[in-house]
Chains A and B, each alone.
Chain A
């Protein structure tokens, strides 16, 4: 890698991404022709409802979904069929449900040290303690099991795990939707701080427009596998989107509006 091109090469570039599920006649397209670019250090939000394909985009980038076409470039290099070891040190992901994403029989210590062992990185003790400090967890939590932690603490462990390999890009799949409001604020603040401190690039998926507006500068609205609108956060805050569906989403996220929604009751 040369330093000359740094800053110009986008951290993540996705063009004409299509993702399919199933085989034969039941094969169905979950993501249709999605393209977007994340400059280094950007924070990009994907919003949409269930079935919009927003999480599938993340799963295609990480290689958890195999059946896709199009181009995915990380720091300028195109990803192939299989993800190479180096990929995992550039891109990491935080999952939605911290109750499901931590192995129930592994201690926090093991969860955090495993990526280091897999990549033969030394100095494990120091790095694990540092990671706990970085996400604001007491060091005494090191040998606890996930079931001894609260939802917010678990999600901090999950964030710490994603950062163990010091990636440049963090994929955030609804990282706070399983948490209480007050805990959500803590995790969102943590993510904001980490990004500022480490210059991370975020790709965040959420159904909550307010959360995405808080975290991201650019937002793409997805529906039924397609991006229906891409807008800047200011445009969204002023509620001036062009697409009718985006309008409705925005309305809905402001709370219940008797006059507006009583006219939209049909399935």
Chain B
């Protein structure tokens, strides 16, 4: 591969900086950790594929207006149900003559939004509940964990359906419903981790420096729970996308004409025998992204899990 001359000069310097075993600043120490993580990721081909899929998804969402060949909701009834490869329609068109490729490209934004919003709400809430329950113990633990159990007692999709039915159909409510049903497992994980971390010597050591419970939970317990949560969230992402697609499919999630992938499959199922591509193309998109998250999650488990990487 060709390299630009200036990168050739800076790269050895950057690499030395990242390989240094005597970092000179907090920033460098952090960057070295990130670099080591990247090296491990690179050493795991499947995880790297997963990572690249997710990166592609993000790029697709950002550059949607440039990648799309048509307006996602522009209808052209004269060009209905064209097969893939037709002139100007890479993946064909749907029953209203909309370009499927462009709809999938724009749909990536919706998928990404769902994923991001769920990822920043459910695990954070679960982490909060789990670490509080685990660290404080006693009746706080009892109350928080029983509430968690109640949520866990319902099948996820059914509970999400119930929430959406109560809140009203729509993409925002779908995300809210998914988040509401997704947090309990994270609370469980965080609590289990906290119970072991709580008795560690380094927690005793910091409490002997005079740190209070809140400081210990946020600065010392959270960083230790984070890696297993990140792994779990990544592995759950496929499920979350599928739930969102499922809600869309049932007409309770994204509403037409939004190019949400689940809703697209739902619309295409009427033609699945004669015009298979209408349902198949968004299905493939869901499949690819789910696969990407699963591969990345498996890889992250190897990279982040301190218990495993020790051996």
Contact = CB atoms under 8 A, between A and B. Distances in A.
A144 B21 contact: yes
Contact of A101 (B23, B29, B33, B202): B202
Nearest to A100: B201
Interface string B10-39: 000000000001111110110001000000
Interface residues of A, number: 35
B211 A118 contact: yes
Interface in A85-105: 85, 88, 92-93, 95-97, 100-105
B78 interface: no
Interface string A122-162: 00000000000000001011011100100000000010010
Contacts of A165: 209
A106 B26 CA distance: 10
Interface string A34-77: 00000000000000000000000000001010000000000000
Interface in B237-276: none
A243 interface: no
Contacts of A101: 201-202, 204-205
A141 B23 CA distance: 8
Nearest to A93: B208
B291 interface: no
A115 interface: yes
A234 to B, nearest CB: 33
A192 interface: no
Contact of A62 (B25, B201, B208): B208
B224 A105 contact: yes
Given A143-B23, A143-B25, A102 B206 contact: no
B33 to A, nearest CB: 8
Nearest to B206: A114
B215 interface: yes
A107 interface: yes
Contact of B209 (A115, A140, A144): A115
Which residue, B204, B211, B219, has most C-beta atoms of chain A within 10 A? B204
A251 interface: no
A100 B202 contact: yes
Contacts of A93: 205, 208
Interface in B20-67: 21-26, 28-29, 33
B207 interface: yes
A106 B224 CA distance: 10
B22 A144 contact: yes
Nearest to A62: B208
A143 B24 contact: yes
A83 B209 CA distance: 11
A28 B26 CA distance: 47
A28 B209 CA distance: 29
B300 to A, nearest CB: 16
B89 to A, nearest CB: 51
B138 interface: no
Contacts of B23: 143-144
A64 B201 CA distance: 11
B85 interface: no
Contacts of B200: 100
Which residue, B33, B202, B215, B306, has most C-beta atoms of chain A within 10 A? B202
Contact of A119 (B22, B29, B207, B210): B210
Interface in B206-231: 206-211, 215, 219-220, 223-224
Contacts of A166: none
Interface of B: 21-26, 28-29, 33, 200-202, 204-211, 215, 219-220, 223-224, 306
Given A143-B29, A145-B33, 14 more contacts: A64-B208, A95-B201, A96-B201, A97-B201, A102-B202, A103-B220, A104-B306, A105-B224, A106-B223, A115-B209, A118-B210, A119-B210, A143-B26, A144-B22
Interface of A: 62, 64, 83, 85, 88, 92-93, 95-97, 100-107, 109-110, 114-115, 118-119, 138, 140-141, 143-145, 148, 158, 161, 164-165
27 contacts: A64-B207, A85-B210, A92-B208, A93-B205, A97-B201, A100-B201, A101-B201, A101-B204, A101-B205, A102-B205, A103-B206, A104-B202, A104-B224, A104-B306, A105-B224, A107-B29, A109-B29, A115-B210, A118-B209, A119-B209, A143-B24, A143-B29, A145-B29, A145-B33, A148-B21, A161-B209, A165-B209
